Amino acid sequence: MPLTPRTEQGKAFIRPCTIIYLLLMSLTLLTWALGRFNAQIGLPAMTLSMSVLGIAILKGHLIGDFFMGLRRVRGPWRWVVTLWLLLPASLITIAFMQAGQ
């Protein structure tokens, strides 16, 4: 079964996974730019860190859902990647808040 069935029209068709892929690439560039040009942007360190961590969780979730195919799974396995993302992410957040004080 293809990720999505081919449309009748055929050629002009873009797969959802391609859209996700482009989204992931853009989010990566965003993370990189935030890190690289923060001197000019001037975000507080904590805001910067939490933004890129948030972006990473979103990216990981997209990979789990669309690339690993978990959105078509039900039951506990459906959430395995998302839960995993939230576990280290919350620990990292606590540690960064500790460091920030």
Partner 1 sequence: MMEKRKQPPGDLAIWIFICAELSVFAAFFAAYAFTRAKHLELFNRYQQTLNTDYALINTLALITSSYFVVRAVAAIREGSQRSCARWLLAAIAMGALFLVVKSMEYQHHFSHGVTLSTNTFYMFYISLTFFHFMHVIMGMVILAAVALKAHAGGYTAERHAGVETGASYWHMVDLVWIILFPLVYVMR
CB of 14 to partner 1, least distance (A): 13
Q: Which is nearer to partner 1, 8 or 15 (CB)?
A: 15
Footprint on this chain of partner 1 (rule: CB under 8 A):
1-3, 15, 17-18, 21, 24-25, 28-29, 31-32, 34-36, 45, 48-49, 52-53, 55-56, 59-60, 63-64, 66-70, 72-75, 77, 80-81, 84-85, 87-89, 91-92, 94-96, 98-99
21/80 Cα distance (integer angstroms): 21
Q: Which is nearer to partner 1, 40 or 75 (CB)?
A: 75
25/10 Cα distance (integer angstroms): 25
CB 61 within 8 A of CB 32: no
CB of 52 to partner 1, least distance (A): 4
Quick check: helix, strand or coil at residue 89? Answer: helix
52/25 Cα distance (integer angstroms): 14
